Structure 1
Amino acid sequence: MRRLLLVSALAAALCGPAAAQAPDVEALASAVDAKVQAWRRDIHQHPELGNREVRTAKLVADHLRALGFEDVRTGIATTGVTAVLRGGKPGPRIAVRADMDALPVTERNDLPFASKATSTFRGETVGVMHACGHDAHTGILMGVAEALASMKAELPGEILFIFQPAEEGPPDGEDGGADEMLKQGIFERFKPEAVFGLHVFSTLNAGTVGWRSGPAMAASDRFNIVVKGRQTHGSRPWGGVDPIVAAADIIGTTQTIVSRRQNISKQPVVVSYGAIKGGIRYNIIPDSVELVGTIRTFDEGMRQAVFADLKNLSEHVAAAHGATVVAQVPDTKGNPVTVNHPALTARMVPSLETAVGAENVVEMDLNMGAEDFSYYAREVPGFFFFVGATPKGQDALKAPSNHSPEFFLDETALKVGTRTMLQVLLDYQRME
């Protein structure tokens, strides 16, 4: 009996203090849940396009300063904010990122905090909406910042908080996004050993968290094709060269790049058109038509082949109509593939399971969406996961998708996001 008591006492001595030191993630998150919801609603009601997130950036910076964060910097990559939380105990240096920009989308949700904002995009007046959920990302990370600041003395290591503008891409002619944040030295001033991020996602129900090891999200590239014809009266099409008909033929024929020229049994490929602009009046055939779109790939060889095929095909189809094209493929620097570091992913998936239960954590298929988080994850090991946004009981595969004017966030996703990110960050710091 005496020996049993001694063994029990030794076990308590070894295990008890460690268990006592484990932070109570539920308590930390519960303390900020109401604030996270309020921040998200406020940001949702006041959305700002990329490189224009002035109000949002001020809200974030003021909050971080009030929490006592160090080295709070603003104006990075135009409107980005970074700050450092230094824990009271030794430990690793890591980074965590949220994006702040909205989209040129007119909201169609009937919410008391729905966006009524408008702005100018590509020379046109547009509605502005957080149709991708970046308002949730910002609110969640503000909550995570407050929760971790409340236990600063017990926190191991240091955490760089990144609030990034222009994830959806900067305005034409401007630089921005993750690549520009890195160019302006955020990882030179603070050298993290790992970086973390999350994204709310319509194809998962609220309460569910998704992950994928290795390549997770596609490379994304934009293209711009201007089809040049010769203007004429609509009643005399033979008097000119119709760029609208040529453009329509280009759109249809270029779909064969995916269906007939790429081995999609190897990796998926997407070529999509997002805008067509040409003409002004019903009875005038215009001089030109502009086509813009996106290319999504996972393989660099396939990516370069699509670039060449799209340019070559558009030029020859236009020539068959007597038209010409100016094809910029790609027209800007695109985002590389988002890759989750396999060892880091294996290490952090148990944290997701701890936060929401293993039954609510799913491994996801390749995602043709893109993320400029990929730039951070090229510099240091990265882990990027997905938080379900569609209400339980609704078919998530049929729900309005991210970027839709009807994209809807079940606000329980905010609680899930706060808890999972806290668990991931704390577990990483404590396991080092």
Structure 2
Amino acid sequence: MSARDAQPSSLATQIDAAAAAIEAKVIEWRRDLHANPELGNREFRTAGIVAEHLRKLGLDEVRTGVAHTGVVGLLKGALPGPVVALRADMDGLPVKEEVDLPFASKVTTQWNGEEVGVMHACGHDCHVAILMGVAEILSGLRSQLRGSVKFIFQPAEEMPPDGEEGGAKLMIQEGALEKPVPKAIFGLHVTSRLSAGVIGYKPGPTMASSDRFRITVQGKQTHGAAPWLGVDPIVTSAQIVLGLQTIIARTQDITREPAVVTVGMIRGGVRENIIPDSVEMRGTIRSFDEDMRDDIHERVTTLAEAIAKGSRAGCTCVIQKNYPVTVNDPALTEAMVPTLQRVAGPDGLLLVPKVTGAEDFSFFQKIVPGLFFFVGVTAPGIDPAKAYSNHSPRFEVDESGLALGLRALTHVTCDWLEANG
């Protein structure tokens, strides 16, 4: 399908009217979800609200309990055509909210053994409300709808608790993309990096892969006044941290794709005059190319072990692959740009740079062609570059941006269905 194929669907005028009619309802849903956030694999209330809504709309199928709490609904249009999937993630973050709102979250819960605040600090409340709105609009247009729409409400995008599986990968394993199989999938993400009223997109690699590593350096404990009697894992770890910075700077072709290696946690020792037995470091690796990703993994392990060996320390390095690169299918993206441009208006669509954040929407894109785009939610008059970012306890959403997300996701769905029917 080429870009010229993405013409306005026959339902375009009705979509805009229906979106305007339910905008207030979408905002109301979002506020309720925001006040009652739930962490990954624990989205019981959210999933119940979604499932009840889809059943009331009369969808042909509503499946619950997918990947623990996920919900998958199927709407069959009255006219023959292909199948398209739409996805929204449902989970909040272990973050204590610091935004002064009448519907601010006061929720606390246990997460990996700790008492934490819970907040929709990444905007997934907006994603759920928007997709609920899309389902309502399209169910009202069923008699004119060409093809079928699969609605995927996904848990645990922000990672499940330690020791559990979850998210997009588990939804796929449990058949979310089967019976029927979609030919394309669309998703969106609200962002403070764009103003409300703006849509951002990028073809090809768009969001980074995300991997975590844990390096444990084993030394020999001794008195801090006599370091020669032991092996210092703190000094060795410092050398490893500095060495890791050379992997991107000196071994990767950054003209090809950017990459990041970050040590975000280092822990060792109990007092100032004791050299400890061991030090643990944890960090993240981000890249936009799968071959570079594998090479970086190998270099992290080799470098850490070699530095430790040179210091006569032991070293174990464990790297866990989390999310692949989020890659927007170039042909699908090109085809849908006219739709996004039409919905956003002449100044409302931006080609955005790569994002080093990660998304498990990438797992869906490995199965079917996908397009993941961004919807601005920073209030007019505020510089998006200075706005609190997603994942901040002060992340704030200008709800006027929800209507654009609602219209964009509905229009790309119907335009794609009619172009491919």
TM more than 0.5? yes
CA displacement at 1:171 relative to structure 2: 2.0
1:60-209 residue pairs with structure 2 within 5 A? 60-209=50-199
Check if 1:293 corresponds to 2:264.
no
Check if 1:374 corresponds to 2:392.
no
Which of residues 323, 328, 350 is equivalent to 1:340? 328
SS in 1 for 2:143: helix
Q: CA 1:116 to 1:360, structure 2 compared with 1: closer, same or farther past 3 Å? A: same
Deviations 1:268-321, CA, capped at 9 Å, x for gaps: 011122333444566655433332221111222211111011111222233344
Deviations 1:151-191, CA, capped at 9 Å, x for gaps: 22222211000000111222222211111111111222221
In structure 2, what is the equivalent of residue 216 of structure 1? 206
Which of residues 336, 340, 344 is equivalent to 1:352? 340
Deviations 1:27-72, CA, capped at 9 Å, x for gaps: 1112221121121112122222211111111111111111111221
Q: CA 1:250 to 1:128, structure 2 compared with 1: closer, same or farther past 3 Å? A: farther
Q: CA 1:279 to 1:100, structure 2 compared with 1: closer, same or farther past 3 Å? A: farther
Deviations 1:351-376, CA, capped at 9 Å, x for gaps: 11221203110111122221111111
Contact 1:353 1:360 in 2 (8 A): yes
**AA in 2 matched with 1:32:** I
- Structure with larger RCO (C-alpha < 8 A, sep 6+): 2
SS in 1 for 2:366: helix
Deviates further, 195-204 or 336-345: 336-345
CA–CA distance in structure 2, aligned partners of residues 205 and 263 of structure 1: 33
In structure 2, what is the equivalent of residue 8 of structure 1? none
Deviations 1:66-121, CA, capped at 9 Å, x for gaps: 11112211111111110101112222211000001122222222222222222333
Q: CA 1:242 to 1:216, structure 2 compared with 1: closer, same or farther past 3 Å? A: same
CA displacement at 1:380 relative to structure 2: 1.3
In structure 1, what is the equivalent of residue 259 of structure 2? 269
Contact 2:209 2:322 in 1 (8 A): yes
SS in 2 for 1:55: helix
**AA in 2 matched with 1:218:** A
**AA in 2 matched with 1:389:** V
What TM-score, normalized by structure 2, do the two folds share? 0.92
In structure 1, what is the equivalent of residue 5 of structure 2? none
**AA in 1 matched with 2:117:** G
In structure 2, what is the equivalent of residue 318 of structure 1? 308
**AA in 2 matched with 1:253:** G
Check if 1:398 corresponds to 2:386.
yes
In structure 2, what is the equivalent of residue 419 of structure 1? 407
What residue ranges of structure 1 are gaps of 5+ in the alignment?
1-17
Count of residue pairs brought into register by the alignment: 413
- Calculate the aligned-residue CA RMSD, in Å: 2.1
SS in 2 for 1:40: helix
